[in-house]
């Protein structure tokens, strides 16, 4: 990198700081955390996509596809359940919560059960999201340090301080519109890497000739994920993935807060539709990009020698550093920084929302002035916590990233089942819901510790089923007050089914499976 690249990065950082000042005039919690419920589907969709296309995805997914041992296009199976999850969210989960006008998704649990359910899940979210985000910051800083030749603390400071300032000032508006800009930069970065890598290989035909054909198989209908090393099969990825994505998009504050920011329910549905349609093409593009760069690595000994055997994630950053012209390098470094900042800004804003709504303002007694002051201070607090944790993540980051994915699957299914009980099963009361949640989590922990041959994607489904069953049985056996829902029959009678969007999403599910199956035929 030279002064041109650093100038490009500097201008980008100044632009983000100005964005925060542009949206600093927030007068209430709804302004700060929901953007005044003024967003249309397009900015919300790009914001969500930018968060999903995190720095880890931009760097690690291509390395998994193109270089990691046992990797390949099977990465595409992570996307299979997304359209189906969007249908469930659109039809069943989001409408009853959106209509209440709440900021924290966990408030719904207190209205339906009691404060213990709300506090328990909210605190779990805050701790896990802060820790997971710190690992992301550390990992990206480690990679950037290796290619930018600047100290680790400076890299973390660039990512953290800049994001903290514009998130602190501008709230959700700065987050969403910042994500839009970052998504555009990310996509430009992927296009540049794709075509430059293809040019180095000598064109598409040369790539097809040299690519490792073992990496092209994406869909395996024979793998059920019940034996050691038996992973990424069609059925565990679709069934387990369905529970994972419904829970992530519908019960995780960092994601559902965007849906609550939509100006109306039709905008929510359009956002869910676009999310269901956008993810797979983006994933397919960066997966093929990873194949191209990985093929170039294996056909170029000097490039291969630059990548440590235990750090394949350096594939994309080293390619950017050593094979692209100056100026373009700066833009691509911005792409990596953008991915990290997008994830971090979303985490800071959602952590602040959960803290203020679920802990400090649960009784709705704060004035607008007090609320805004507390919101900004909790944003600052969580930003500092994440940055401090990033410094202490250290050498355990590689194992922690995998562990965090597993920790998510321990909780996602049981949390989703708790929300389903709250919305649709009238007989379940607070004690039953809490016991069911605990039972589902404990079953998943048991599977993690003592049944390692079961693929962790299944935990999302198993935990949900156990939570629903135990919660219902406890509520039948032990008397308790049930309130706040009308039961599943009345719920279905009130559903406003948007048939065109549902049919589009289901057809798209079939399409992406067929496209993934055909990968060996067109590469």
Average pLDDT estimate for 400-418:
80
Comparing 179-183, 279-283, 453-457, the range with the smallest average pLDDT is 179-183
- What confidence score (pLDDT) does residue 397 get? 45
Report the residue count for the chain: 523
* Cβ atoms 471, 432 nearer than 8 A: yes
Whether the predicted pLDDT of 488 surpasses 70: no
Whether the predicted pLDDT of 165 surpasses 60: yes
Q: Phi and psi dihedrals of 226, rounded to 5?
A: -115, 15
Q: How far apart, in Å, do the first and last CA atoms of the chain sit?
A: 34
Q: What percent of the chain has pLDDT over 70?
A: 91
pLDDT digits (tens, 9 = 90+) for 496-513: 677 899 999 999 999 999
- What confidence score (pLDDT) does residue 22 get? 73
- What confidence score (pLDDT) does residue 522 get? 87
Whether the predicted pLDDT of 204 surpasses 90: yes
- What confidence score (pLDDT) does residue 469 get? 96
pLDDT digits (tens, 9 = 90+) for 229-271: 778 899 999 999 999 999 999 998 888 988 998 989 999 999 9
Average per-residue pLDDT for the chain: 85
Question: Distances in Å between the alpha carbon of 25 and those of 35, 170, 225?
Answer: 11, 7, 51
- What confidence score (pLDDT) does residue 399 get? 45
- What confidence score (pLDDT) does residue 135 get? 79
Report which of 351, 372, 371 is spatially closest to residue 363, judged by C-alpha positions.
371
Report which of 288, 265, 107, 134 is spatially closest to residue 201, judged by C-alpha positions.
288
- What confidence score (pLDDT) does residue 404 get? 66
512 or 481: whose pLDDT is higher? 512
- What confidence score (pLDDT) does residue 401 get? 53
The contacts of residue 378 (CB under 8 Å, 6+ apart) are 351, 352, 355, 356, 360
Max Cα-Cα span within the chain? 72
Joined together, the tokens standing for residue 493 give 């009678």
Joined together, the tokens standing for residue 72 give 């390949």
- pLDDT interval class at 491 (50, 70, 90): low
- What confidence score (pLDDT) does residue 490 get? 57
Within 10 A of 359 (CB to CB), how many other CB atoms are there? Answer: 16
- CA 441/CA 412 separation, integer angstroms: 9
pLDDT digits (tens, 9 = 90+) for 222-233: 989 998 877 889
| 3 state SS for 36-84 | HHCECHHHHHHHHHHHHCCHHHHHHHHHHHHCCCCCCHHHHHHHCCHHH
pLDDT digits (tens, 9 = 90+) for 463-475: 999 999 999 999 9
- CA 266/CA 277 separation, integer angstroms: 17
- pLDDT interval class at 493 (50, 70, 90): low
183 or 28: whose pLDDT is higher? 183
Of the CATH numbers 3.40.640.10, 3.50.50.60, 1.20.1730.10, 3.40.50.1370, which one belongs to the domain with range 3-517?
Answer: 1.20.1730.10
pLDDT digits (tens, 9 = 90+) for 292-333: 999 999 999 999 999 988 788 889 989 988 898 888 888 888
* Cβ atoms 72, 215 nearer than 8 A: yes
- What confidence score (pLDDT) does residue 60 get? 83
Angle, helix 328-355 to helix 115-148, in steps of 10 degrees:
160
- What confidence score (pLDDT) does residue 472 get? 94
162 or 419: whose pLDDT is higher? 419
């Amino acid at each position: 990198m030279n002064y041109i690249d650093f100038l490009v990065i500097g201008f980008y950082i100044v632009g983000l700081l100005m964005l925060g000042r542009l949206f600093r005039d927030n007068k209430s919690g709804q302004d700060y955390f929901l953007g005044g419920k003024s967003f249309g589907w397009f900015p919300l969709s790009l914001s969500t996509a930018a968060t999903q296309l995190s720095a880890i995805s931009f760097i690690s997914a291509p390395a998994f596809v193109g270089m990691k041992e046992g990797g390949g296009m099977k990465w595409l199976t992570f996307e299979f359940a997304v359209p189906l999850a969007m249908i469930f969210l659109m039809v069943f989960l989001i409408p009853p919560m959106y209509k209440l006008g709440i900021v924290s998704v966990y408030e719904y649990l207190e209205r339906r059960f009691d404060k213990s359910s709300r506090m328990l899940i909210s605190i779990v979210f805050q701790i896990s999201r802060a820790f997971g985000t710190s690992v992301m910051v550390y990992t990206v800083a480690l990679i950037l340090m290796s290619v930018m030749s600047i100290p680790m603390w400076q890299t973390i400071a660039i990512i953290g301080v800049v994001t903290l300032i514009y998130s602190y000032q501008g709230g959700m508006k700065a987050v969403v519109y910042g994500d839009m800009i970052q998504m555009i930069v990310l996509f430009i970065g992927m296009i540049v890497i794709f075509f430059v890598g293809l040019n180095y290989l000598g064109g598409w035909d040369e790539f097809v000739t040299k690519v490792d054909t073992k990496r092209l198989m994406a869909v395996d209908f024979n793998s059920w994920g019940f034996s050691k090393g038996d992973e990424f099969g069609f059925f565990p990825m679709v069934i387990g993935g369905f529970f994972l994505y419904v829970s992530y998009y519908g019960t995780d504050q960092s994601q559902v807060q965007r849906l609550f920011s939509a100006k109306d329910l039709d905008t929510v549905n359009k956002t869910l539709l676009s999310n269901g349609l956008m993810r797979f093409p983006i994933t397919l593009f960066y997966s093929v990009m990873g194949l191209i760069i990985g093929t170039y690595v294996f056909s170029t000994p000097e490039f291969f020698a630059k990548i440590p055997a235990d750090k394949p994630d350096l594939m994309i950053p080293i390619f950017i550093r050593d094979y692209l012209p100056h100026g373009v390098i700066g833009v691509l470094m911005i792409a990596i920084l953008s991915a990290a900042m997008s994830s971090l800004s979303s985490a800071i804003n959602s952590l602040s929302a959960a803290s203020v709504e679920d802990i400090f303002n649960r009784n709705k007694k704060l004035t607008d002035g007090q609320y805004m002051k507390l919101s900004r201070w909790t944003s600052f607090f969580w930003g500092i916590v994440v940055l401090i944790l990033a410094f202490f993540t250290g050498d355990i980051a590689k194992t922690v990233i995998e562990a965090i994915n597993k920790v998510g699957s321990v909780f996602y299914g049981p949390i989703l089942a708790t929300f389903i009980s709250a919305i649709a099963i009238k007989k379940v009361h607070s004690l039953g819901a809490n016991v069911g949640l605990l039972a589902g989590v404990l079953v998943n922990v048991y599977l993690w510790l003592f049944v390692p041959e079961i693929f962790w994607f299944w935990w999302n489904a198993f935990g949900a089923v156990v939570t629903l069953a135990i919660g219902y049985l406890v509520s039948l056996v032990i008397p308790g007050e049930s309130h706040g829902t009308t039961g599943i029959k009345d719920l279905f009678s009130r559903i406003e089914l948007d048939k065109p969007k549902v049919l589009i999403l289901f057809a798209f599910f079939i399409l992406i499976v067929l496209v993934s199956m055909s990968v060996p035929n067109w590469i």
